[in-house]
Structure 1
């Protein structure tokens, strides 16, 4: 526990030295603790106070995929915490020329205090974490996006004052963002209603795990192919792009499959009047969301993007 002026701040001590690859591996108290720590760190930042919890620490950041929010938020977060972040494009590393993940993990463990990686395959990130002697943070893979989900729930907690019992509707592709959001909502005791076209459902394993977590927290997890049913009386409505990076050849088929899933004014009329609209960005106006919604008065997408910084600072401080 740290005192910063009049503000009490508690790190999630059980995560010290641990990896953060997916939220199903965390305890509920760890997930909610990270969200609360992010809330406090944001409050301190708005007051111009940046506790130097990671002075002298170095975070290595490996990117196999393009990034705006992930790279800048992690780099800014390390600066806020007194440490340093080192950008590493996988094409510039020997891993991009065939060096094994095992050898790369052992080499980097001698130089760095932690690794954040944004990768194509979750199995590769798992192997990196298994071999590294330092913590590994998942900045995005094909299956999970845990740091995004922490920022999502931090945003709802900030606006609504709490999470337990709130309903969030996710409309779109059952992708990595959806997987982590489902798990995070279950940990927080929320109701999450997921609407996707048939054939684009979230992973059954994720749904099963989240349902088990929700059974302990008082939350509820459901899936439907009817977006209007999911959005009904929702406190927050969330969507993501229909075609993620690496799926570009599926674009035409996905546009056809997702007809009727655009979050528009007619759909959000079923949500609560004070609902929040969320999107992890980048967004395609006129495709998965109408411009009138994402640019409307209920949209919190830029607050949500900013909260990547504060949620990840909570992760970095606790793990490192």
Structure 2
């Protein structure tokens, strides 16, 4: 099993499958009132340079649910905001806590912390990757559809960190992934090339209708993410026609599911009708973050090896 979570590209097919299946088991066991204590006596630092609701609460709940203690540190409250070298932070924190969950801007922050830390470092979001979210999404898809490799997944909108992590997931798991992104808003070129070399069912183009055709899973995300402040007007123009609405949804399979990592800007990237409609699984998806985070913490910090 991996020692840090930098991105999904680290996983083998077997590792990814085991982790997703374990998260589903943990969800069922929570519903049955079964308790776990693999983090008893252990503490996890949540270092967040970017604000969060779902990621913070789901990780804190996951830590407590495994018997551990979560220590939340906003970026402004740490020496990172005062330019302390990352390698120093990594080595000091490794002597205080048993793991670090980091939500930050640059992927290089995760990489350097992981290079110098002697405890697991988990990427809770960077501008380049969002592996924890996509793991939760994959768990949701498997729950709802019963499989992953034979599905068509449609990504409609920005080629952002979510799209990058979906590309890595498709490369490993082998499902069809069609991305509809406007010109100038494509996913990372290196990640796209890496993924396409491993899966010839990955397609990047500009038509939401092509992506939607016979899709089993629809994905949308906000047009302007954190860090895109000041670009809202420009982005609204660029993404005109990329809204996930009922007309687009009807081009997919009749039992297609709709996903969105939230928060959603209703009326922009997705309509109220679709988000609140019978094919939407966004709130199951949000819940599953907590169960997936448990599986990650259990494996990386708790030493659990599911099989």
Query: TM-score with structure 1 length normalisation?
Result: 0.92
**In the alignment, does 2:250 pair up with 1:269?**
yes
Mean Cα deviation higher: 41-50 or 139-148: 41-50
**In the alignment, does 2:290 pair up with 1:309?**
yes
**In the alignment, does 2:233 pair up with 1:260?**
no
Measured against aligned partners, the alpha-carbon deviations of 1:81-103 in whole angstroms (never above 9, x if no partner) come to 11111100111112212221111
Secondary structure of the structure 2 residue equivalent to 1:66? coil
- Find the counterpart in structure 1 of residue 202 from structure 2: 221
CA-CA distance at 1:44 after TM superposition: 0.6
**In the alignment, does 2:125 pair up with 1:140?**
yes
Show structure 1 runs of 4+ deviating over 3 A.
none
In the TM superposition, 1:141-290 aligns within 5 A as 141-214=126-199, 220-290=201-271
Contact 1:32-1:187 at 8 Å conserved across structures = no
In the TM superposition, 1:293-308 aligns within 5 A as 293-308=274-289
Secondary structure of the structure 2 residue equivalent to 1:248? coil
Distance 1:203 1:94 in 2: 30
Structure 1: gaps (5+ residues):
1-13
Structure 2: gaps (5+ residues):
302-307
CA-atom RMSD in angstroms: 1.0
CA-CA distance at 1:80 after TM superposition: 1.0
CA-CA distance at 1:139 after TM superposition: 0.4
CA-CA distance at 1:274 after TM superposition: 0.7
Query: TM-score with structure 2 length normalisation?
Result: 0.96
Distance 2:170 2:29 in 1: 25
- Find the counterpart in structure 2 of residue 11 from structure 1: none
Q: Which one of the candidate residues 54, 67, 74 is aligned to 1:82?
A: 67
**In the alignment, does 2:37 pair up with 1:56?**
no
Distance 2:207 2:151 in 1: 20
Secondary structure of the structure 1 residue equivalent to 2:35? coil
CA-CA distance at 1:189 after TM superposition: 2.1
CA-CA distance at 1:213 after TM superposition: 3.3
